[in-house]
Amino acid sequence: MINYLDRGFDSLNHQILIFTKPTITLGGNITLTEPIKHYDNAQSFLDLSYGINYSKNSNSVVNMRKNPIGELLNIDSLTSQFRTITIIHNLGLTYRYTSQRFNYNIGFNARPTNIKNTNTSNASGNSISHLSISPTLQMNFIGSNRKSLNIKYESSSLLPNLEQLQPLSNYTNINNIVVGNPKLKSAINHSFNMTYIKGGNNGNSKNYSVNSSIIQNQIVDNTILAADSSNTVKQVTRYVNTSGNYSFSGNYRWSFYLRQMKYNLEIQGAYNFAHQVSYTNNMKNFGKICGFFQSASFKAHLSRLQTSSGIYYTNRINSFSLSPKQTSIQSWNFNANLGVNIIESLTAHIEYLKTVNIGYYKTGNNPVIINDNIEKRLFKSQHVLLKLEVNDLLNQGNILSRTISNNSTTESISNKVTRYFYLR
């Protein structure tokens, strides 16, 4: 039950919400493969696939209120009893070519979709039909000296869910009323990936990858701030389709081994950019998110000593067209590990972790975590292990995070007791 401030007996005073969501899901698929040609060290095939998915969802939201004499009355305008039936057909045709040095497949997928919504309370409803036809392409080049290049393109459709399609208001959170939109279209996501790997006989490797995506008709929130009858500002969220969302990312990783693989140096980095479109008070809000990551780590494996250390840097920048303020948060993470075999049956480990956060509203949250353990193997067989663990010796463990949406920034910190001693 949700109780509201009574100002002249609001029609939603003492609201009672009852939710039920039974679901039935069925599906199946079949694939037929026909060899076409057989070459020297190469083959080609034709694949034909078909799949069907059926789901039936019943969603009942009953809104009730108490009248002045305490009787429960149903609020018809805010009560929904919807049944949604979704049928998705997947038809695919693919040509595949395989050889020792070069593999590729090219084809297409057709996906007819029908979503039928029925309001069982008054027998009204609507039906949405959508057909998406998307090409697929994947190529893999395998070169000499352990080199490979993989290229992949595909697209997929993203269906609106039941809550997004219901044309009624959801008062589960009175401060954020959610209203569905039965006219929503399916979104289409186009994605591209390219990966290059170069290896070596000595264990060294270099990896590079590029990813990008474009989403058409993406379902986004339209957040509207409005005052109610008690002059309290509340948020109303509606769903709309929009285009203009795309993203790009690239990363690399270098790994080098020295002295018969006793020492390892690893360097990696990444950059990502995302352009997002949302709505605030019926106005388009363009968001840009840039992220940068860089790290370096070192490991050594000796006869009685194992050690590792690393430095990790992350920077994230957010900006929105409806807000002139640009936000940036950075973090530095340092770690060091040391393991020593004191004698054949006695081993000790210590781990040091340090985090430096920059740009958060809450300052001074830069924990130091120290973990230790020592273990002893008993008896001649050494099958019995006695181990003492100390976790977060300084008791500074916490989690700091920031979530940014089109019109709000939420920063949270989680402090909990993480120091403990464990003997087993």
Burial of 423 (0-12, 13-18, 19+ CB in 10 A): exposed
Share of the chain above pLDDT 90, in %: 32
The CA-based dihedral angle spanning residues 268, 296, 271, 317, taken in that order and rounded to the nearest 10 degrees: 160
168 φ, ψ (degrees, to nearest 5): -125, 165
Count of CB atoms within 10 A of residue 157's CB?
19
* Between 54 and 59, residue with greater pLDDT: 54
With beta carbons less than 8 A apart as the criterion, state whether 94 and 109 touch. Answer: no
> 11-25, 149-163, 246-260, 399-413 — which one is most confidently predicted on average?
246-260
pLDDT per position as a tens digit, 6-49:
444 444 445 555 555 667 889 999 999 999 888 788 899 999 99
pLDDT of 9: 41
**If you ran DSSP here, which 8-state letter would residue 162 be given?**
H
Q: How far is 260 from 124, CA to CA, in rounded Å? A: 74
Provide the token pair at 174. 């009175």
pLDDT of 16: 54
Of the ranges 97-111, 176-190, 271-285, 388-402, which one carries the lowest mean pLDDT score?
A: 388-402
Q: How far is 4 from 19, CA to CA, in rounded Å? A: 20
Residue type at 160 in one-letter notation:
P
Q: pLDDT-based confidence at 327, cuts 50/70/90?
A: confident
pLDDT per position as a tens digit, 237-246:
889 999 899 9
* Between 306 and 15, residue with greater pLDDT: 306
Where do runs of H (alpha helix) occur along 121-188?
A: 162-165
Q: How far is 41 from 398, CA to CA, in rounded Å? A: 57
pLDDT of 79: 66
Helix (H, G, I), strand (E, B) or coil at 164: helix
pLDDT of 241: 92
DSSP notation for 234-302 = EEEEEEEEE--EEEEEEEEEEEEEETTTTEEEEEEEEEEEEEEEEEETTEEEEEEEEEEEEEEEEEEE-
Task: Please give the mean pLDDT across all residues of the chain.
Answer: 83
Provide the token pair at 107. 């084809």
pLDDT per position as a tens digit, 78-130:
666 777 888 999 999 999 999 988 999 999 999 898 888 777 766 667 777 88
Count of CB atoms within 10 A of residue 186's CB?
20
Q: How far is 399 from 418, CA to CA, in rounded Å? A: 11
Q: Is 208's pLDDT higher than 90? A: yes
With beta carbons less than 8 A apart as the criterion, state whether 299 and 256 touch. Answer: no
pLDDT of 278: 86
Q: How far is 89 from 33, CA to CA, in rounded Å? A: 19
pLDDT of 123: 67
The mean pLDDT value for 401-407 works out to 66
Q: How far is 221 from 343, CA to CA, in rounded Å? A: 62
Q: Is 55's pLDDT higher than 90? A: no
Q: Is 324's pLDDT higher than 90? A: no
CA-closest candidate to residue 406, choices 273, 235, 262? 235
pLDDT of 134: 86
Q: How far is CA 18 from the centre of its chain?
A: 30
Q: Is 232's pLDDT higher than 70? A: yes
Beta pairing class for 42-66 and 23-39 = antiparallel
